[in-house]
Structure 1
């Protein structure tokens, strides 16, 4: 694949990813608003989604097949560039999904005795959270793309999954603090 083809593929990948994320978040919060679900139910549903993604991913193994053609093309390309580290990265991501799903189940259990109040979302809050999610995902994706696309061979990826996960955890903690502050500012202002 030449540089122009790679650039076009990455642009399509980002576009499709952003559309899917945007649509999913809007759909999810619309359903939450219409169905008037409680905090416990919300965290339970998120836990199910995360756990299922992780389990299905682990069961599928190292296949590059995808319902969305651009993701299959990207998977084939990245698997060729990264070698065995591609599978390690995917497996680690799926395990993290299962762990986060378990954490959400615990949250659901801990919140089960809270008064059954439904979420009351302010549109400004939703837009802020959606913007932050899209911004972080796009920046992380672009950094990852550059690392993969500029590599010469798969030996450059030795330890890549471990390093990227450590960075991801650190950024996740910082992002959680930022989102916590934003949430508190919407609650108390």
Structure 2
């Protein structure tokens, strides 16, 4: 694959990722606004979704994405990363399984809750912007690392990127937690 083809593929990947992310967030906000949903049902639904993704990932050898650009990216990265691609896929499935368990655990502890999920659009707008920024930055650094490396130079990439991601995720969670507390205290 030539440099120009890779660059075009990556532009399409960024565009498609942003469109899908924005569409899913809008659908979520609309769904929660229209359907009277309790937190228990929300956590059970998310747990089932993550569990189904994990099961599908274990059965399917590839991501199985119906989006053509993601199939092309997957083939390119699988060739470029080699064995590291398999490690990355296993880690992703493990994270999905952990998130599924976490959602079921939360649903179990709020069994009797009948409070409906309410949306504070100011908080959701801030979270949307933060998450969109995180998705784009993580994709940017991933693309930069993968595309800039030679074949076989990416041994240990998954471990390093997951450690950095976990540390940045913890830092982001702390910052968002304090911002949320300040917002609640000011309101």
Q: Do they fold alike, i.e. is TM over 0.5?
A: yes
For 1:60-116, what per-residue CA distance to the aligned partner results, in whole angstroms no more than 9, with x for missing partners? 12x3643110000000100111101011101111110111111011011112223x1
TM-score when normalising by structure 2: 0.93
Which of structure 1's runs of 4+ aligned residues deviate more than 4 A? none
For 1:22-77, what per-residue CA distance to the aligned partner results, in whole angstroms no more than 9, with x for missing partners? 1111111211121121111111111111221122112112x364311000000010
Contact 2:84/2:157 (8 A) holds in 1: yes
Contact 1:64/1:76 (8 A) holds in 2: no
Aligned-pair CA distance for 1:185 = 3.4
1:178 aligned residue (175, 178, 185): 175
Question: Partner of 1:42 in structure 2?
Answer: 42
Looking at structure 1, the residues matched to 24 and 90 of structure 2 have their Cα atoms a distance apart, in angstroms, of 23
1:147 aligns with 2:145: yes
Unaligned runs of 5+ in 2: none
Superposition pairs of residues 1-189 of structure 1, within 5 angstroms: 1-61=1-61, 63=62, 65-114=64-113, 116-154=114-152, 156-188=153-185, 189=187
Aligned CA-pair RMSD: 1.4
Looking at structure 1, the residues matched to 119 and 73 of structure 2 have their Cα atoms a distance apart, in angstroms, of 36
Instruction: Please give the secondary structure, in 2, of the residue aligned with 1:87.
Output: helix
Looking at structure 1, the residues matched to 116 and 175 of structure 2 have their Cα atoms a distance apart, in angstroms, of 24
Contact 2:46/2:100 (8 A) holds in 1: yes
Aligned-pair CA distance for 1:15 = 0.8
TM-score when normalising by structure 1: 0.92
Aligned-pair CA distance for 1:184 = 2.8
Looking at structure 2, the residues matched to 118 and 182 of structure 1 have their Cα atoms a distance apart, in angstroms, of 23
